[in-house]
Amino acid sequence: MMNVVTRFAPSPTGFLHIGSTRTALFNWLYARHHGGKFLLRIEDTDRERSTNEAIQAIIEGLQWLGLIWDDEIIFQFSRAVRHQEAAQRLVAQGKAYYCFCTPQELDAMREKARAEGRQPRYDGRWRDRDPREAPPDVRPVIRLKVPTEGETVVQDLVQGEVRVQNAQLDDMILLRADQTPTYMLAVVVDDHDMNITHIIRGDDHLTNTFRQIQIYEVMGWRPPLFSHIPLIHGQDGAKLSKRHGALGVEAYRDMGFLPEALRNYLLRLGWGHGDDEIISQAQAIKWFDIKDVGRAASRFDMAKLTFVNAHYLRESDDERLINLLDPFFQKMRPIELTAPLKERLLKAMPGLKQRARTLEELAANALFLIHPRPLPFDEKAKSLLTSEAKSLLQKALETFKVVSIWNETTLETTLRTLAESLDIKMGVLAQPLRAALTGRSISPGIFEVMIALGKEESLERIQDVLDL
Q: Which residues pair with 164 in a beta bridge?
A: 152
Beta bridge partners of 163: 153
SS3 labels along 255-298? HCCCHHHHHHHHHCCCCCCCCCCCCCHHHHHHHCCHHHCCCCCE
Furthest CA-CA distance within the chain:
110
Q: 83: burial class by Cβ within 10 Å (0-12, 13-18, 19+)?
A: buried
| pTM (2 d.p.) | 0.91
Q: How far, in Å, are 84, 150, 260, 410 from residue 176 at the CA level? A: 10, 27, 43, 81
pLDDT recorded at residue 119: 79
* Low-confidence residues in the chain, pLDDT < 50: none
Which positions ≥6 away from 86 have C-beta within 8 Å? 174, 185, 189, 219
Alpha carbon of 353 to those of 358, 361, 395: distances in Å?
9, 9, 32
How far is the CA of 48 from the CAs of 52, 73, 81, 181, 398, in angstroms? 12, 21, 19, 15, 71
Confirm whether 342 is a catalytic residue.
no
Contact 346, 316 (CB under 8 A): no
Q: Which residues pair with 200 in a beta bridge?
A: 227
374-408 per-residue burial string, b: 16 or more CB within 10 A, e: under 16: ebebeeebeebbeeebeebbeebbeebeebeebee
User: What span, in angstroms and rounded, lies between the C-alpha atoms of 134 and 11?
Assistant: 35
Q: CB of 24 within 8 A of CB of 262?
A: no
Query: Which secondary structure element, helix H or strand E, spans residue 233, and what is its range?
Result: strand 232-233
Residue 232 dihedral angles phi and psi, to the nearest 5°: -95, 135
Q: How far is residue 320 from each of residues 32, 263, 279, 315, measured CA to CA in Å?
A: 26, 18, 20, 11
For residue 182, report the phi and psi dihedrals to the nearest 5 degrees: -80, 165
Give pLDDT, residue 130: 87
Of the residues 242, 286, 380, 395, only one is catalytic, namely: 242
Q: Name the β-bridge partners of 41.
A: 74
DSSP 353: G
Residue 122 backbone class (left: φ over 0; alpha: ψ -120 to 50; beta: rest): beta
Gap between the Cα atoms of 262 and 170, Å rounded: 42
Distance CA 111, CA 117 (A): 10
At residue 396's C-alpha, the angle toward residues 402 and 406, to 5°, is: 45
CA distance 114 to 110: 6
Give me the phi and psi of 97, to 5 degrees please.
-150, 160
Q: What is the pLDDT of residues 45-80, one digit of tens each?
A: 888 889 999 999 999 999 999 999 999 999 999 999
204, 17 in Cβ contact below 8 A? Answer: no
- Return the SS3 of 162: strand
Question: Cα separation of 409 and 431, whole Å?
Answer: 19
Give the total residue count for the chain.
Answer: 468
Helix (H) / strand (E) containing 143: strand 141-144
